[in-house]
Structure 1
Amino acid sequence: MDAKTRFAKRITSLPPYLFARIDEKKREALSRGVDLINLGIGDPDTPTLSPIVESAKIAVTRPEHHQYPSYEGMLSFRKAVADWYRRRFGVTLDPATEVVGLIGSKEGIGHLPLAFVDPGDVVLIPEPGYPVYHAGTLFAGGESYFMPILEQNGFMPDLDRIPEAVYRRTKIMFLNYPNNPTGALATDAFFEKAIGLAARYGFILAHDAAYSEIYYDGKAPKSFLSYPGAKEVGIEFHSLSKTYNMTGWRVGFAVGNPSVLSGLLKVKSNLDSGIFQALQEASITALELPDSDLDALRSLYQVRRDVLVPGLNRVGLRAFAPGASFYLWAAIPKGMTSEQASLALLEKTGIVATPGNGFGPSGEGYVRFALTVGPDRLKEAVERIRTQRLFGA
């Protein structure tokens, strides 16, 4: 590569995107004719709910939707988000100032540091965690300070272990509950402490709640914004991707503090042109669906979780039953790395799982499974592992 096409330092400092590496390994296995059971990337295997699809079919024929949309999203879409938050969480939002539409929550998460982080500023990032928190920080020239989320702490960062000097340089703290990759939920006391720290040190608390609607045993997670003082210090990201099986539609939103959303909107208005309005119309339909439609999806994942957790525990892994999300975090036997375990699963059983260290060093010793195939295939996956005795059981 000559000097003109040499990548910028911000690109060369990025680790390879985890799921791109997994796709490469999958392609190699498929080329060998392997019957893959893909429990890697969290992409729902059931179609988008039919009322949403029908709404999109109608909306796409309307000429007014064929022009540039507004950057922040149609007011009708933002009102639907605010109505959903009131029904679901008891949180009151002003659709005009406290809701911004996103081209998927990933886009907003990646853009937020560009609005607030200067070189030398710190961003607190849960680790293991979603890689975009770190990537967005690097793009903004900020410094990532990783907060380990460890099993012994219930997969919550120990906020008391972060030095005061780091807090004083912090511009943003990212949190993510229900958690990817562990499936853990945070306690009320944890959120209250994080909000207090954000208020004390003047940083933004950005909560990624993309998995709040995939929960188990009827125990619905709270919104971060339902806690006192939350809206004064931060925002919450959400996505229709997992909740309504709309991963490919790329519709999400951020809600909460108007000043923080205003900064995010300034970045967005310079880098994108908003969500296609026909998709916003379909998303309004999604947000207005009765909760019984989502109960059916939750029941589907409940069956899958209750098949895979005990199955993995029988074959030598130590699997944690997620409180929410469609991810399952499992500890592997000592003497084997996460990468070795994932490669053995792929090469010897045709099962795609994600190595835990791909989400950060504290993920070493774990693998992540996504509950994105039916119970029969999950039982088959367990049987393949048992037959090969990969983990000694």
Structure 2
Amino acid sequence: MHEKDLPKEVPGPIGPTETRSGFSIPVADRVLRLPPYLFARINKLLYEKRRAGADVIDLGMGNPSDPPQDIVIEKLAAAARDPDNHGYTESRGILNLRREVASKYFKQFGVRLDPESEIIVCLGSKDGFSHLCLALLGPGDTAVVPAPSYPPHVYAVILAGASTISLDVTKPDEFLSRLAFVCQNLFPRPKVVVVNFPHNPTTTVVEADFYHELVRLAKRYSFLVISDLAYADVTFDGYRAPSLLAVPGGRDVGVELTTMSKGYNMAGWRVGFCCGNAEMVRALATVKTYYDYGMFRAIQVAAIVALRHTDAAVEAQAREYQRRRDVLCEGLERLGWPIVRPKATMFVWAKIPEPWASQMSSFDFAMKLLKEADVAVSPGGGFGAAGEGYLRLALVENEHRLRQAVRQIGRCLGQAQNQPPARVAGT
């Protein structure tokens, strides 16, 4: 899924308010269940520093900085000039786009999907996930979500009126054993299990055998699976992210969400897909029918061109992220940081080194880097208690800027860049 989790302008804490006239504005209980936005202090300082003229290197939000291919932009412009493309479209997405998604699934995963019943176009995969929670969950229901947590995985469930159980995903085998324990001992059992591999924020990856076991558990304990596969196009070192839908029985128990935000550099275009179990797709389509009139047709036409003609560019973009990963990780290793090099995603999940890890929270450490080094990062604590002690650094700047960020961090912390590397074996 895909990165709207760190908005740059954030409202303050929400609660019963009064207007200037003294009239009370009682908001819904579901909104009151949402906590204050945890990144607000960092984003406020980032805004203030940039307004004052500081050149802040922003590694906080996973917002792609590279543009889509020219052929895609040109098709968008041409389609926007066609007067037939400006009316309402069906909320499921135009059929030719759904057919192109089916073609991609077959090429990438060997999965044959029915464009009519097993694919729906979403206004970004975050939209798809949130509306799917409304379609599947309600008061009294429980969803298992990954921890550390991409915020919408938790709060879309809460907004649907359901409860969450967070399970650590950094060791996938233990996640499965804990999931089985929860299903055996909790009543009522979880209705939905959310998985997200490659994982945001920790970059944890799995092989296909993980999904084999997950499907077995789903059938045994009768839960539904929502797989967030947002980073399938951004993989490194020969690793290829598997699909839930490629596993026998995967479509019996779940759906998968994908996006064009990452590999295609179309984050602001908001193009995502939900594929898999026809009944779950139908439930999402029912909710979307009441919430939107579908995506601007010109964007859908351009997305078809992107899916049909830019595979090589997607692969090249993944190689670019891998080069950026190597630059950032090598720099932090020279500073003596313990680093696990990711096999996928556009992030590095870095353990905060000593002595700072023992002296301050991840939020305080992130604030220190922003105040003193002009480098913005995401504190691990912002992804829940399981993320405390870590930082998430996005690979959205070019190699030169990443090297500069490392130098500024080193000066801020008084670290020399000639220390022996502190490599940690990754998954």
* Alignment CA distance shift 1:219-1:255 (3 Å): same
Q: Give the stretch that moved more between structures: 212-221 or 19-28.
A: 19-28
Contact 1:315 1:389 in 2 (8 A): no
Please say if 1:388 is aligned against 2:412. Answer: yes
Per-residue deviation, 1:32? 3.3
- Give the counterpart of 1:373 among 397, 410, 417: 397
SS in 2 for 1:182: coil
Per-residue deviation, 1:18? 4.9
SS in 1 for 2:67: coil
1:339 is aligned to 363
- Give the counterpart of 2:317 among 292, 297, 315: 297
Per-residue deviation, 1:21? 5.1
**Map of 1:233-244 to 2, 5 A cutoff?**
233-244=253-264
Q: Give the stretch that moved more between structures: 158-167 or 194-203.
A: 158-167
**Map of 1:37-56 to 2, 5 A cutoff?**
37-56=57-76
**Map of 1:1-393 to 2, 5 A cutoff?**
1-2=17-18, 4-18=24-38, 22-150=42-170, 158-166=178-186, 168-333=188-353, 334-335=357-358, 336-389=360-413
* Alignment CA distance shift 1:267-1:391 (3 Å): farther
Task: Name the amino acid aligned to 2:388.
Answer: E
Per-residue deviation, 1:86? 0.6
Per-residue deviation, 1:295? 2.1
* Alignment CA distance shift 1:92-1:390 (3 Å): farther
Contact 1:37 1:350 in 2 (8 A): yes
Which whole-Å CA distance do the structure 1 matches of 2:51 and 2:310 have between them? 43
* Alignment CA distance shift 1:232-1:128 (3 Å): same
Per-residue deviation, 1:347? 0.7
Task: Name the amino acid aligned to 2:405.
Answer: A
Which whole-Å CA distance do the structure 1 matches of 2:400 and 2:216 have between them? 46
* Alignment CA distance shift 1:6-1:106 (3 Å): same
Contact 1:204 1:233 in 2 (8 A): yes
Which whole-Å CA distance do the structure 1 matches of 2:68 and 2:252 have between them? 35
Per-residue deviation, 1:323? 0.8
Per-residue deviation, 1:155? 9.0
Q: Give the stretch that moved more between structures: 383-392 or 311-320.
A: 383-392
Which whole-Å CA distance do the structure 2 matches of 1:65 and 1:5 have between them? 40
**What TM-score do you get using the length of structure 2 for normalisation?**
0.88
* Alignment CA distance shift 1:154-1:41 (3 Å): farther
Which whole-Å CA distance do the structure 1 matches of 2:296 and 2:260 have between them? 14
Which whole-Å CA distance do the structure 2 matches of 1:205 and 1:390 have between them? 47
Q: Deviations over 1:350-384 (max 9, x none)?
A: 10100001111100000000000011111111111
Which whole-Å CA distance do the structure 1 matches of 2:152 and 2:410 have between them? 35
* Alignment CA distance shift 1:390-1:111 (3 Å): farther
Q: Give the stretch that moved more between structures: 22-31 or 370-379.
A: 22-31
SS in 1 for 2:169: strand
Task: Name the amino acid aligned to 2:341.
Answer: A
Contact 2:341 2:348 in 1 (8 A): yes
Which whole-Å CA distance do the structure 2 matches of 1:44 and 1:278 have between them? 21
Q: Give the stretch that moved more between structures: 187-196 or 155-164.
A: 155-164
SS in 1 for 2:111: coil
Which whole-Å CA distance do the structure 2 matches of 1:80 and 1:216 have between them? 25
Q: Give the stretch that moved more between structures: 311-320 or 124-133.
A: 311-320
Task: Name the amino acid aligned to 1:303.
Answer: R
Task: Name the amino acid aligned to 2:234.
Answer: I
Which whole-Å CA distance do the structure 2 matches of 1:251 and 1:288 have between them? 15
Q: What are structure 2's unaligned runs of at least 5 residues?
A: 1-16, 420-427
* Alignment CA distance shift 1:248-1:18 (3 Å): farther
Contact 1:112 1:136 in 2 (8 A): no
* Alignment CA distance shift 1:54-1:156 (3 Å): farther
Contact 1:102 1:251 in 2 (8 A): yes
Per-residue deviation, 1:23? 2.8
Q: What are structure 1's unaligned runs of at least 5 residues?
A: none
Q: Give the stretch that moved more between structures: 241-250 or 27-36.
A: 27-36
Contact 2:180 2:217 in 1 (8 A): no
Task: Name the amino acid aligned to 1:138.
Answer: I
Which whole-Å CA distance do the structure 2 matches of 1:87 and 1:246 have between them? 21
CA-based RMSD of the aligned residues comes to 1.9
Q: Deviations over 1:121-177 (max 9, x none)?
A: 101110112111111111111011111234x66895643442523374211111101
Contact 2:203 2:343 in 1 (8 A): yes
Which whole-Å CA distance do the structure 2 matches of 1:366 and 1:155 have between them? 20
- Taking every aligned residue pair, what percent have the same amino acid on both sides? 37
Which whole-Å CA distance do the structure 1 matches of 2:167 and 2:187 have between them? 12
SS in 2 for 1:228: coil
Contact 2:200 2:345 in 1 (8 A): yes
